[in-house]
């Protein structure tokens, strides 16, 4: 058979679709390098997915906590207090790093708040009775001075002289 003629057989060089050496076995070092790249790729993807999931949980968790009823009530009371408005300004907004927990009828929290004039934090402890939140502790700490101002009307007691009222707590 003439080597220049096509034999028409699949084993003939002209019929070969694979590049030369494609059927050769992969060396051990090439295989290790390929597996290492694959591990790095999948590891990075896994870390990215876990980080994104944690970030979403934090963002939606803080958002849900900030809009909870005891937090809203505390923010409304702070916004209606003349000393708080004088120190922080209006409108008051809740910051991001909310701390505390609300479990069943009990709530304990610290809300970072800020207004046009300053920053502070609202601290509260409350219990829900008959559908309403009753605060045993509710006060604002002003960041600029460290001063605390009570937001509880029930904590105001008559002063010894003159009949004026003054906060008795924090």
Mean pLDDT in residue range 21-31:
74
> Span 69-167: which CATH code?
3.10.450
Mean pLDDT in residue range 109-122:
92
Which of 5-9, 82-86, 109-113 shows the lowest per-residue confidence on average (mean pLDDT)?
Answer: 5-9
Which of 17-31, 50-64, 108-122 shows the lowest per-residue confidence on average (mean pLDDT)?
Answer: 17-31
Q: Between residues 150 and 5, which one has the greater pLDDT?
A: 150
User: What pLDDT was estimated at residue 121?
Assistant: 94
In the predicted structure, residue 158 carries a pLDDT above the cut 50:
no
In the predicted structure, residue 151 carries a pLDDT above the cut 60:
yes
Domain residue ranges of the chain, discontinuous segments joined by +: 23-66, 69-167
Please, which contacts does 80-86 make with residues 24 or more away whose CB atoms are closer than 8 Å? Answer: 81/140, 81/149, 81/151, 83/149, 84/120, 84/140, 84/149, 84/151, 85/115
User: What pLDDT was estimated at residue 15?
Assistant: 52
Using alpha carbons, select from 62, 142, 125 the residue that is nearest to residue 98.
Answer: 62
Determine phi and psi for 109, rounding to 5 degrees.
Answer: -155, 160
Mean pLDDT of the chain: 78
Which of 7-21, 53-67, 73-87, 109-123 shows the lowest per-residue confidence on average (mean pLDDT)?
Answer: 7-21
Which of 49-58, 115-124, 125-134 shows the lowest per-residue confidence on average (mean pLDDT)?
Answer: 49-58
Q: Between residues 87 and 166, which one has the greater pLDDT?
A: 87
User: What pLDDT was estimated at residue 63?
Assistant: 65
Q: Which residue has the tokens 């207090």?
A: 81
């Amino acid at each position: 058979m003439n080597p220049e003629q096509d034999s028409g057989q699949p084993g003939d060089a002209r019929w070969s679709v694979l590049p030369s050496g494609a059927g050769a076995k992969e060396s051990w070092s090439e295989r290790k390098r390929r597996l290492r790249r694959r591990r790095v790729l999948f590891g990075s993807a896994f870390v990215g997915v876990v980080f994104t999931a944690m970030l979403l949980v934090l963002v939606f968790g803080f958002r849900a906590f900030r809009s909870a009823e005891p937090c809203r009530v505390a923010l409304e009371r702070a916004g209606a207090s003349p000393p708080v408005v004088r120190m922080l300004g209006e409108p008051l907004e809740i910051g991001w790093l909310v701390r505390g927990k609300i479990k069943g009828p009990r709530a304990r929290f610290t809300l970072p708040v800020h207004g046009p004039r300053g920053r502070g934090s609202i601290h509260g402890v409350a219990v829900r009775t008959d559908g309403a939140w009753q605060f045993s502790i509710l006060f604002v700490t002003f960041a600029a001075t460290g001063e605390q101002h009570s937001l509880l009307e029930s904590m105001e007691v008559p002063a010894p002289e003159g009949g004026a009222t003054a906060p008795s707590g924090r």
